[in-house]
Structure 1
Amino acid sequence: MIKYMFLLFISLLLFVSCNDSSNVKEKVNNPEAMALDTYKPGFGEFMTNVQIHHAKLWFAGKYQNWALADFELNEISETIDAIKKYQQERPETKVLSILNPAMDSVRVSIRQQDQKLFVKSFTDLTNTCNACHQSVKFGFNVVKIPDTPPFSNQDFSVKQKAAR
Protein backbone atom coordinates (compact mmCIF):
# COMPACT_ATOMS: atom_id res chain seq x y z
CA MET A 1 0.00 0.00 0.00
CA ILE A 2 2.78 2.44 0.87
CA LYS A 3 4.45 1.56 -2.42
CA TYR A 4 1.29 2.48 -4.35
CA MET A 5 0.88 5.73 -2.42
CA PHE A 6 4.46 6.65 -3.20
CA LEU A 7 3.96 5.92 -6.91
CA LEU A 8 0.73 7.92 -6.90
CA PHE A 9 2.49 10.85 -5.23
CA ILE A 10 5.37 10.78 -7.75
CA SER A 11 2.93 10.52 -10.66
CA LEU A 12 0.90 13.44 -9.35
CA LEU A 13 4.05 15.50 -8.81
CA LEU A 14 5.22 14.82 -12.36
CA PHE A 15 1.80 15.65 -13.77
CA VAL A 16 1.61 18.97 -11.92
CA SER A 17 5.16 19.99 -12.81
CA CYS A 18 4.71 19.12 -16.48
CA ASN A 19 1.30 20.71 -16.72
CA ASP A 20 2.36 24.35 -16.14
CA SER A 21 1.92 25.81 -19.60
CA SER A 22 1.81 29.49 -18.63
CA ASN A 23 5.42 30.02 -19.71
CA VAL A 24 4.77 28.24 -23.00
CA LYS A 25 1.71 30.40 -23.69
CA GLU A 26 3.76 33.54 -23.00
CA LYS A 27 6.41 32.42 -25.45
CA VAL A 28 3.93 31.45 -28.15
CA ASN A 29 2.41 34.91 -27.91
CA ASN A 30 5.88 36.48 -27.92
CA PRO A 31 8.08 35.17 -30.76
CA GLU A 32 11.04 37.21 -29.52
CA ALA A 33 10.96 35.38 -26.19
CA MET A 34 10.88 32.07 -28.06
CA ALA A 35 13.83 33.15 -30.18
CA LEU A 36 15.87 33.96 -27.10
CA ASP A 37 15.42 30.41 -25.85
CA THR A 38 16.61 28.89 -29.10
CA TYR A 39 20.22 28.22 -29.95
CA LYS A 40 22.33 31.34 -30.35
CA PRO A 41 25.88 30.96 -31.73
CA GLY A 42 28.62 32.28 -29.51
CA PHE A 43 30.87 35.16 -30.48
CA GLY A 44 33.72 32.77 -31.24
CA GLU A 45 31.56 30.76 -33.64
CA PHE A 46 30.73 33.91 -35.56
CA MET A 47 34.40 34.89 -35.64
CA THR A 48 35.37 31.44 -36.93
CA ASN A 49 32.90 31.97 -39.75
CA VAL A 50 34.51 35.35 -40.49
CA GLN A 51 37.93 33.67 -40.48
CA ILE A 52 36.86 31.08 -43.05
CA HIS A 53 35.41 33.72 -45.37
CA HIS A 54 38.48 35.93 -44.84
CA ALA A 55 40.69 33.10 -46.11
CA LYS A 56 38.38 32.30 -49.02
CA LEU A 57 38.24 36.00 -49.91
CA TRP A 58 42.03 36.08 -50.14
CA PHE A 59 42.22 33.19 -52.56
CA ALA A 60 39.33 34.47 -54.64
CA GLY A 61 41.14 37.81 -55.04
CA LYS A 62 44.51 36.16 -55.58
CA TYR A 63 43.09 34.22 -58.53
CA GLN A 64 41.05 37.24 -59.69
CA ASN A 65 37.79 35.38 -59.22
CA TRP A 66 35.94 38.63 -58.61
CA ALA A 67 32.46 37.09 -58.41
CA LEU A 68 33.63 34.78 -55.63
CA ALA A 69 35.54 37.59 -53.92
CA ASP A 70 32.38 39.70 -53.90
CA PHE A 71 30.41 36.77 -52.50
CA GLU A 72 32.95 36.10 -49.72
CA LEU A 73 33.10 39.77 -48.71
CA ASN A 74 29.30 39.80 -48.48
CA GLU A 75 29.43 36.66 -46.31
CA ILE A 76 31.75 38.50 -43.92
CA SER A 77 29.37 41.48 -43.86
CA GLU A 78 26.39 39.21 -43.16
CA THR A 79 28.23 37.52 -40.31
CA ILE A 80 29.15 40.87 -38.78
CA ASP A 81 25.48 41.89 -39.04
CA ALA A 82 24.54 38.66 -37.25
CA ILE A 83 27.06 39.41 -34.50
CA LYS A 84 25.48 42.83 -34.03
CA LYS A 85 22.05 41.22 -33.80
CA TYR A 86 22.78 38.19 -31.61
CA GLN A 87 25.80 39.32 -29.58
CA GLN A 88 24.89 42.95 -28.95
CA GLU A 89 25.69 42.67 -25.25
CA ARG A 90 29.35 41.85 -25.91
CA PRO A 91 31.81 44.75 -25.66
CA GLU A 92 33.61 43.39 -28.74
CA THR A 93 30.49 44.02 -30.81
CA LYS A 94 30.63 47.72 -30.07
CA VAL A 95 33.97 48.14 -31.91
CA LEU A 96 33.14 46.17 -35.05
CA SER A 97 32.55 49.37 -37.00
CA ILE A 98 36.35 49.74 -37.08
CA LEU A 99 36.21 47.23 -39.97
CA ASN A 100 33.96 49.33 -42.21
CA PRO A 101 36.59 51.49 -43.97
CA ALA A 102 38.84 48.49 -44.65
CA MET A 103 35.92 46.42 -45.95
CA ASP A 104 34.82 49.33 -48.15
CA SER A 105 38.33 49.44 -49.66
CA VAL A 106 38.23 45.72 -50.39
CA ARG A 107 34.81 46.19 -52.00
CA VAL A 108 36.19 48.95 -54.26
CA SER A 109 39.12 46.76 -55.31
CA ILE A 110 36.71 43.95 -56.22
CA ARG A 111 34.43 46.25 -58.20
CA GLN A 112 37.42 47.67 -60.06
CA GLN A 113 38.85 44.16 -60.47
CA ASP A 114 42.22 45.59 -59.46
CA GLN A 115 44.44 42.91 -58.02
CA LYS A 116 47.13 45.30 -56.73
CA LEU A 117 44.50 47.35 -54.92
CA PHE A 118 42.94 44.12 -53.66
CA VAL A 119 46.23 42.95 -52.12
CA LYS A 120 46.72 46.32 -50.42
CA SER A 121 43.14 46.61 -49.18
CA PHE A 122 43.04 42.98 -48.03
CA THR A 123 46.28 43.54 -46.11
CA ASP A 124 44.72 46.63 -44.53
CA LEU A 125 41.62 44.59 -43.62
CA THR A 126 43.79 41.91 -42.01
CA ASN A 127 45.73 44.53 -40.04
CA THR A 128 42.45 46.12 -38.96
CA CYS A 129 41.23 42.73 -37.70
CA ASN A 130 44.38 42.48 -35.58
CA ALA A 131 43.99 46.06 -34.32
CA CYS A 132 40.43 45.22 -33.31
CA HIS A 133 41.64 42.09 -31.50
CA GLN A 134 44.22 44.22 -29.65
CA SER A 135 41.62 46.81 -28.65
CA VAL A 136 39.37 44.19 -27.02
CA LYS A 137 42.19 42.31 -25.27
CA PHE A 138 42.25 39.40 -27.75
CA GLY A 139 45.64 40.33 -29.19
CA PHE A 140 46.75 36.73 -28.79
CA ASN A 141 44.43 35.93 -31.72
CA VAL A 142 46.52 37.06 -34.70
CA VAL A 143 45.06 36.88 -38.20
CA LYS A 144 47.35 36.69 -41.23
CA ILE A 145 47.13 36.42 -44.96
CA PRO A 146 46.55 32.70 -45.50
CA ASP A 147 49.22 30.45 -47.02
CA THR A 148 46.91 27.68 -48.16
CA PRO A 149 43.21 27.55 -49.07
CA PRO A 150 40.95 26.56 -46.19
CA PHE A 151 39.30 23.83 -48.27
CA SER A 152 40.93 21.45 -50.72
CA ASN A 153 37.69 20.87 -52.59
CA GLN A 154 37.20 24.40 -53.89
CA ASP A 155 38.69 25.78 -57.09
CA PHE A 156 39.32 29.48 -56.59
CA SER A 157 40.53 30.05 -60.14
CA VAL A 158 37.11 29.67 -61.77
CA LYS A 159 36.06 33.08 -63.03
CA GLN A 160 32.51 34.25 -63.67
CA LYS A 161 30.91 37.66 -63.79
CA ALA A 162 29.49 38.83 -60.49
CA ALA A 163 25.72 38.40 -60.38
CA ARG A 164 25.19 41.57 -58.33
Structure 2
Amino acid sequence: MKLSITTALIFIITLFSCRQSGNNLALQQKVDSLQHQLAATYKPGFGEFMSGIQVHHAKLWFAGKNQNWKLADFEIKEIEEALAGIQQYCTDRPESKSIGMLDGAIDSLNRAIEQKNMAQFKSGYLLLTATCNNCHRSTAHEFNVITIPVNPPFTNQDFKAP
Protein backbone atom coordinates (compact mmCIF):
# COMPACT_ATOMS: atom_id res chain seq x y z
CA MET A 1 0.00 0.00 0.00
CA LYS A 2 2.82 2.38 0.91
CA LEU A 3 4.52 1.55 -2.35
CA SER A 4 1.45 2.37 -4.41
CA ILE A 5 0.90 5.70 -2.61
CA THR A 6 4.57 6.56 -3.10
CA THR A 7 4.35 5.55 -6.76
CA ALA A 8 1.20 7.62 -7.21
CA LEU A 9 2.83 10.64 -5.58
CA ILE A 10 5.92 10.30 -7.77
CA PHE A 11 3.67 10.03 -10.82
CA ILE A 12 1.68 13.16 -9.84
CA ILE A 13 4.82 15.16 -9.08
CA THR A 14 6.37 14.10 -12.39
CA LEU A 15 3.18 14.98 -14.26
CA PHE A 16 3.00 18.38 -12.53
CA SER A 17 6.67 19.09 -13.28
CA CYS A 18 6.21 18.29 -16.97
CA ARG A 19 3.14 20.47 -17.12
CA GLN A 20 4.92 23.32 -15.31
CA SER A 21 7.87 23.00 -17.67
CA GLY A 22 5.50 23.29 -20.63
CA ASN A 23 3.93 26.41 -19.11
CA ASN A 24 7.35 27.93 -18.50
CA LEU A 25 8.32 27.27 -22.11
CA ALA A 26 5.11 28.88 -23.38
CA LEU A 27 5.63 31.91 -21.15
CA GLN A 28 9.26 32.26 -22.22
CA GLN A 29 8.18 32.14 -25.87
CA LYS A 30 5.66 34.93 -25.22
CA VAL A 31 8.33 37.01 -23.46
CA ASP A 32 10.75 36.45 -26.34
CA SER A 33 8.08 37.45 -28.86
CA LEU A 34 7.22 40.63 -26.95
CA GLN A 35 10.91 41.54 -26.60
CA HIS A 36 11.32 41.10 -30.36
CA GLN A 37 8.29 43.28 -31.05
CA LEU A 38 9.52 45.93 -28.63
CA ALA A 39 12.96 45.97 -30.24
CA ALA A 40 11.34 46.53 -33.63
CA THR A 41 9.13 49.39 -32.38
CA TYR A 42 9.92 52.85 -33.76
CA LYS A 43 11.96 55.02 -31.43
CA PRO A 44 12.75 58.56 -32.50
CA GLY A 45 16.43 59.19 -33.01
CA PHE A 46 18.56 61.96 -31.58
CA GLY A 47 18.40 63.89 -34.87
CA GLU A 48 14.60 63.84 -34.95
CA PHE A 49 14.47 65.29 -31.46
CA MET A 50 17.05 67.95 -32.30
CA SER A 51 15.24 68.96 -35.50
CA GLY A 52 12.03 69.32 -33.51
CA ILE A 53 13.81 71.42 -30.90
CA GLN A 54 15.22 73.66 -33.61
CA VAL A 55 11.74 74.30 -35.00
CA HIS A 56 10.33 75.05 -31.54
CA HIS A 57 13.34 77.25 -30.78
CA ALA A 58 12.55 79.38 -33.83
CA LYS A 59 8.81 79.47 -33.11
CA LEU A 60 9.56 80.43 -29.51
CA TRP A 61 11.49 83.47 -30.74
CA PHE A 62 8.64 84.76 -32.88
CA ALA A 63 6.05 84.05 -30.20
CA GLY A 64 8.07 86.00 -27.60
CA LYS A 65 8.95 88.78 -30.03
CA ASN A 66 5.22 89.27 -30.62
CA GLN A 67 4.45 88.93 -26.90
CA ASN A 68 2.23 85.95 -27.61
CA TRP A 69 2.95 84.52 -24.17
CA LYS A 70 0.57 81.58 -24.49
CA LEU A 71 2.30 80.44 -27.67
CA ALA A 72 5.73 81.09 -26.12
CA ASP A 73 4.73 78.93 -23.15
CA PHE A 74 3.56 76.20 -25.50
CA GLU A 75 6.82 76.27 -27.48
CA ILE A 76 9.08 76.15 -24.42
CA LYS A 77 7.05 73.19 -23.13
CA GLU A 78 7.54 71.45 -26.49
CA ILE A 79 11.30 71.96 -26.15
CA GLU A 80 11.20 70.52 -22.62
CA GLU A 81 9.19 67.54 -23.87
CA ALA A 82 11.73 66.86 -26.63
CA LEU A 83 14.61 67.09 -24.14
CA ALA A 84 12.83 64.59 -21.89
CA GLY A 85 12.37 62.33 -24.93
CA ILE A 86 16.10 62.44 -25.60
CA GLN A 87 16.81 61.39 -22.04
CA GLN A 88 14.27 58.57 -22.30
CA TYR A 89 14.94 57.19 -25.78
CA CYS A 90 18.53 58.13 -26.60
CA THR A 91 20.41 56.86 -23.57
CA ASP A 92 22.94 55.17 -25.84
CA ARG A 93 24.10 58.56 -27.15
CA PRO A 94 26.82 60.26 -25.08
CA GLU A 95 25.34 63.65 -26.02
CA SER A 96 22.27 62.82 -23.95
CA LYS A 97 24.32 63.32 -20.80
CA SER A 98 24.82 66.99 -21.71
CA ILE A 99 21.11 67.85 -21.95
CA GLY A 100 21.11 69.14 -18.36
CA MET A 101 23.22 72.09 -19.56
CA LEU A 102 20.00 73.64 -20.85
CA ASP A 103 18.12 73.60 -17.54
CA GLY A 104 19.16 77.10 -16.43
CA ALA A 105 18.26 78.68 -19.76
CA ILE A 106 14.91 76.87 -19.86
CA ASP A 107 14.13 78.00 -16.30
CA SER A 108 15.03 81.59 -17.20
CA LEU A 109 12.70 81.52 -20.20
CA ASN A 110 9.90 79.95 -18.18
CA ARG A 111 10.13 82.79 -15.64
CA ALA A 112 10.21 85.44 -18.38
CA ILE A 113 7.16 83.95 -20.09
CA GLU A 114 5.29 83.61 -16.79
CA GLN A 115 6.06 87.26 -15.94
CA LYS A 116 5.43 88.40 -19.55
CA ASN A 117 8.74 90.23 -19.36
CA MET A 118 10.13 91.05 -22.81
CA ALA A 119 13.62 92.08 -21.63
CA GLN A 120 13.97 88.92 -19.56
CA PHE A 121 12.61 86.85 -22.47
CA LYS A 122 15.24 88.21 -24.86
CA SER A 123 17.98 87.62 -22.31
CA GLY A 124 16.74 84.07 -21.63
CA TYR A 125 16.47 83.35 -25.33
CA LEU A 126 20.04 84.52 -25.94
CA LEU A 127 21.15 82.32 -23.03
CA LEU A 128 19.29 79.31 -24.48
CA THR A 129 20.82 79.88 -27.92
CA ALA A 130 24.34 80.28 -26.49
CA THR A 131 23.88 77.19 -24.31
CA CYS A 132 22.75 75.14 -27.31
CA ASN A 133 25.93 76.17 -29.12
CA ASN A 134 28.08 75.46 -26.05
CA CYS A 135 26.53 72.00 -25.84
CA HIS A 136 27.22 71.44 -29.53
CA ARG A 137 30.85 72.44 -29.03
CA SER A 138 31.27 70.23 -25.96
CA THR A 139 29.88 67.20 -27.83
CA ALA A 140 31.98 67.70 -31.00
CA HIS A 141 29.03 69.13 -32.99
CA GLU A 142 30.49 72.63 -33.24
CA PHE A 143 29.59 72.66 -36.94
CA ASN A 144 25.92 72.92 -35.91
CA VAL A 145 25.54 76.59 -34.95
CA ILE A 146 22.15 77.86 -33.80
CA THR A 147 21.22 81.51 -34.30
CA ILE A 148 18.32 83.81 -33.61
CA PRO A 149 15.98 83.26 -36.56
CA VAL A 150 15.39 86.02 -39.08
CA ASN A 151 12.28 84.55 -40.69
CA PRO A 152 9.56 82.38 -39.17
CA PRO A 153 10.03 78.69 -39.91
CA PHE A 154 6.48 78.53 -41.23
CA THR A 155 4.68 81.08 -43.36
CA ASN A 156 1.28 79.66 -42.48
CA GLN A 157 1.35 80.60 -38.79
CA ASP A 158 0.55 83.95 -37.24
CA PHE A 159 2.78 84.56 -34.23
CA LYS A 160 0.91 87.65 -33.01
CA ALA A 161 -1.15 87.28 -29.87
CA PRO A 162 -4.86 86.89 -30.62
Query: TM (normalized to structure 1)?
Result: 0.78
Give the drift of 1:126. 0.2
**Matched residue, 2:37:** 34
Distance in 2 (alpha carbons) for counterparts of 1:45 and 1:145: 20
Q: 1:107-146 to 2 correspondence within 5 Å? A: 107-146=110-149
Q: 1:1-164 to 2 correspondence within 5 Å? A: 25-27=30-32, 34-159=37-162
Give the drift of 1:28. 5.2
Unaligned runs of 5+ in 1: 1-20, 160-164
**Matched residue, 1:14:** none
Runs (4 or more) in structure 1 with deviation over 6 Å come to 21-24
Distance in 2 (alpha carbons) for counterparts of 1:90 and 1:78: 18
Aligned with 1:138: secondary structure?
Answer: coil
Unaligned runs of 5+ in 2: 1-25
Give the drift of 1:158. 2.5
Alignment size in residue pairs = 137
Distance in 1 (alpha carbons) for counterparts of 2:43 and 2:28: 20
Give the drift of 1:139. 0.3
CA root-mean-square deviation: 1.9
Post-superposition Cα deviations, 1:34-90, rounded to whole Å, max 9, x if no partner, equal: 333211121111100000000000000000000000000000000000110100111
Decide which structure has the larger Cα Rg and report it: 2
Higher helix share: 2
Distance in 2 (alpha carbons) for counterparts of 1:125 and 1:24: 48
* 33-42 vs 52-61, greater mean Cα deviation: 33-42
Give the drift of 1:26. 2.2
Percent of aligned pairs sharing the same letter: 48
| Paired letter, 1:48 | S
Distance in 2 (alpha carbons) for counterparts of 1:22 and 1:140: 50
Distance in 1 (alpha carbons) for counterparts of 2:69 and 2:29: 48
Query: TM (normalized to structure 2)?
Result: 0.79
